């Protein structure tokens, strides 16, 4: 009887085992259940962003931080009383400067931020409701998809979105500053919201066609 060396057997069998495990893993990830989980996770992720950031809009420091975007935006600056004076009244996060806080209040900074926060909370709530209501979720996903177009426009209208020329060779386009990098992340929300829209549309059509066939 020919005896097979155990070490040789393991070496020959190992590739087959790895390939089997790899195939099983691919099938698991590609399964319909995995797909549904991914869509649900995307809805939750988008909702968390809007709900959390929306809540922060009611905090003075967050309202102060978006001043550079709103004051430079041709679509939003009219909400401020003195948009052209914003640069002299910026404060660092965590710092409390009563005079600057008073100017921001007179500039309508906080009232606008509260309104914006309300809108974001509304979008986040609708998107999250998509876990139980496709129609409401579709509205939320559409609003979540449209919002980044406004946000990404800040890359064009806001000088502070780019590294200033203070002596370093890396400044201006394509060198994003902290605020610019924050804005750029909205492309993920845009793409994720579109995925949710497409999936929800398929679900609604499937339900509609099923009702018609019945």
The pLDDT tens digits of the residues spanning 30-80 come to: 999 999 999 999 999 999 999 999 999 999 999 999 999 999 999 999 999
End-to-end CA distance of the chain: 67
Q: Can you give 53-111 as a three-state secondary structure string?
A: HHHHCCCHHHHHHCHHHHHHCCCCHHHCCCHHHHHHHCCCCCCCCHHHHHHHHHCCHHH
- Give which of 150, 137, 147, 124 is closest to 197, Cα–Cα: 137
pLDDT of residue 22: 86
Q: Is the CB of residue 176 less than 8 Å from the CB of residue 154?
A: no
The residues facing 162 across adjacent strands are 176
Q: What is the pTM of this model?
A: 0.87
- Supply φ then ψ for residue 82, to 5 degrees: -135, 65
Question: Which ranges of the chain have pLDDT less than 50?
Answer: none
pLDDT of residue 19: 86
| DSSP code of residue 167 | S
Please give the Cα distance from 181 to 137 (Å, whole number): 28
């Amino acid at each position: 009887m020919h005896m097979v060396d155990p070490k040789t057997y393991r070496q020959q069998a190992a590739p087959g085992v790895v390939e089997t495990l790899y195939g099983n893993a691919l099938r698991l990830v590609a399964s319909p259940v995995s797909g549904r989980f991914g869509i649900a996770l995307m809805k939750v992720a988008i909702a968390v962003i809007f709900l959390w950031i929306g809540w922060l809009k009611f905090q003075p420091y967050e309202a102060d931080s978006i001043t550079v975007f709103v004051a430079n935006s041709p679509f939003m600056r009219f909400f401020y009383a003195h948009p052209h004076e914003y640069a002299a009244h910026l404060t660092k996060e965590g710092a409390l400067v009563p005079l600057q806080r008073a100017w921001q209040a007179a500039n309508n900074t906080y009232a606008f931020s509260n309104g914006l926060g309300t809108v974001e909370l509304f979008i986040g709530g609708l998107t999250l409701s998509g876990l139980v209501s496709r129609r409401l979720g579709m509205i939320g996903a559409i609003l979540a998809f449209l919002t980044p177009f406004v946000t990404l426009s800040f890359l064009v209208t806001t000088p502070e979105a780019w590294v200033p020329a203070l002596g370093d060779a890396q400044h201006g386009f394509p060198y994003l500053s902290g605020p610019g990098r924050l804005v750029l992340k909205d492309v993920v929300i845009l793409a994720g919201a579109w995925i949710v829209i497409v999936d929800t549309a398929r679900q609604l059509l499937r339900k509609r066609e099923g009702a018609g066939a019945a």
